[in-house]
Amino acid sequence: MLTEDRIRRYVIELMRAAAIHLPEEVKTSLRRAYELEDDPLARRMLAAILENVELAGGRRRPICQDTGVVMFSVRAGERFPMLGRLPEILRAAVVEATRMIPLRPNAVDVITGRNSGDNTGDYIPWIDWEIVPEEDYAEITVMLKGGGSEAAGGVTVLTPSAGIEGASKFVLEVVKEAGPRACPPLIIGVGISGTTYTAICLAKKALLRGMGLRNPRPELASLEERLLNAVNMLGWGVHGVGGRTTALDLRIEASHRHPASLAVGVVSSCWAFRYSTMRIRGDNVEFLTHNFLNELEVD
C-alpha cells in the first residue's frame, strides 16, 4: 500500500498537471473551435489561446495566472485504506503544491480579507465525496476553478409551469449577462432539480463529465445539444469578440424535483478548464486524464 507521504506527492503532481497541462479532450475541443471559426478576431483570440496552451506545457508554467480555487472530488471505495486520512493528505498537498508549482495564493478570509498565502483555509480545499460500495480504490479529481468563470454561474427556483423552456432561458440569461467576463468559450454544467442546493451540486457534477459525453437519457441529451446551439447563437464568441463559439460544451444533470419547485443551477468553466484525475489502488497509481504522467515515479 502507498504511504501517506507518497500519496501526497502524487496529489502534488496531479495538481501540477492540472495547472500546466490542459486535458487532451479540452485541447481537441479548442482546436476544433479554431478550425471552424471564420471571424478573424475570434480566430486571432483562439490562436493566442492555443499558443498559450502549448507554451504552458513546454515551459512547464501554469496556463493562467489565476490558478483558482482548489476543489477535489473523491470517489472512494468503502475499503480504501486511507479513507479517513485523505482530507489531511489533500490539505498538506495543497500547501506544498502552492509553493512548488507555484500556484497563486487564492484563499482569502471572508471577514478580514487576509490571504492565507497557501491556498488553504476554512473549508478550502473543498472536497466532495462519493463512496463506492465494495471497492478498494480511490479516484481523486482536482479542479482549479478560476475566479472569472464564476461570472457565468447562478441558481434560481422557477415555478414548474416555467418548464424546461424556462430552465433553458435561465441558462441563456446567465451566459448572456456574464459575457466576456467569464473568459469564453465556456464549458457549462447545468443542474435541474427541486432545490437550489441539489441543482447547483448537479451542475458541478455535469461540468465534470467528460467533453462531448451526453446525458444517457435521450431527452436530456437532445436538450444539451439544443441548449449548446442556443448559447452559441448568442454570439458573444471567444472572449466576447464574436464568432461561432461561446461554449465548447454543455452538459445537464437532472434529479426528480419537488412538485412545487423547478430549480436550475449553472456552474461554468472558462476555456482554461483545468482538472486532472488519478486512481489509487493498492500500490498502483494511474493518471486517467493525463496519461503521460503514468511513467512518473515519486519517491
Partner 1 sequence: MEYRLRTPISEQEIRRLRVGDLVFMDGLVVTLRDAGHRRAIEYLRSGRRLPIDLAGLVLYHMGPVVRMSEGGWEIVAAGPTTSARLEAYEPELIEKTGVRLIVGKGGMGAKTAEACKRFGAAYAIYPGGAGALAAEAIEEVEMVEWLDLGIPEAMWVLRVRNFGPLMIMIDSTGRNFYEERRRIVEENMGRTAGFV
| Contact footprint for partner 1 (CB under 8 A) | 41, 44-45, 48-49, 51-52, 55-56, 59, 61-67, 102-105, 115, 146-148, 151, 164-165, 168-169, 172-173, 176, 179-181, 183, 223, 226-227, 229-230, 233-236, 239-242, 270-272
Residue keyed to cell 467576463: 181
Is 169 or 257 the residue whose CB approaches partner 1 more closely?
169
Residue 168 beta carbon to partner 1: minimum distance, rounded to whole angstroms? 4
**Minimal distance, residue 3 CB to partner 1, in Å:** 29
Element (H, E) at 93: helix 86-100
Nearest Cα neighbor of 53 from 33, 32, 23 is: 23
CA distance 266 to 94: 27
Which of residues 131 and 233 has its CB atom nearest to partner 1 in the complex? 233
The CA distance from 47 to 44, in Å, is: 5
Of 117 and 160, nearer to partner 1 (C-beta) is 117
d(CA 90, CA 84): 11
CB of 75 to partner 1, least distance (A): 28
What count of other Cβ atoms lies within 10 Å of the Cβ of residue 166? 15
Nearest CB to partner 1, comparing residues 139 and 232: 232
Q: Report the distance separating Cα 104 and Cα 68, nearest Å.
A: 8
Residue 193 Cβ vs partner 1, minimum distance, rounded to whole Å: 18
CB of 176 to partner 1, least distance (A): 6
**Between residues 146 and 153, which has the closer beta carbon with respect to partner 1?**
146
Nearer to partner 1, 6 or 61 (CB): 61
227 or 285: CB nearest partner 1 = 227
β-pairing, 154-158 with 69-77? Answer: unpaired
Contact partners, residue 268, CB within 8 Å, separation at least 6: 149, 152, 153, 174, 175, 178, 182, 186, 187, 188, 189, 207
Nearer to partner 1, 75 or 239 (CB): 239
Enter the C-alpha cell of residue 5.
507521504
CB of 29 to partner 1, least distance (A): 15
Find the shortest distance in angstroms from Cβ 226 to partner 1: 5
- Min separation Cβ 103 and partner 1, Å: 7
Q: And the C-alpha cell for 17? A: 498537471
- Give every strand in the sheet of 262-269, ordered side by side: 154-158, 262-269, 186-193, 247-254
Pick left, alpha or beta for residue 282 (phi over 0 → left; psi -120 to 50 → alpha; otherwise beta).
Answer: left
Query: Rounded to whole angstroms, what are the CA distances from 86 to 75, 81, 187, 268?
Result: 11, 10, 29, 27
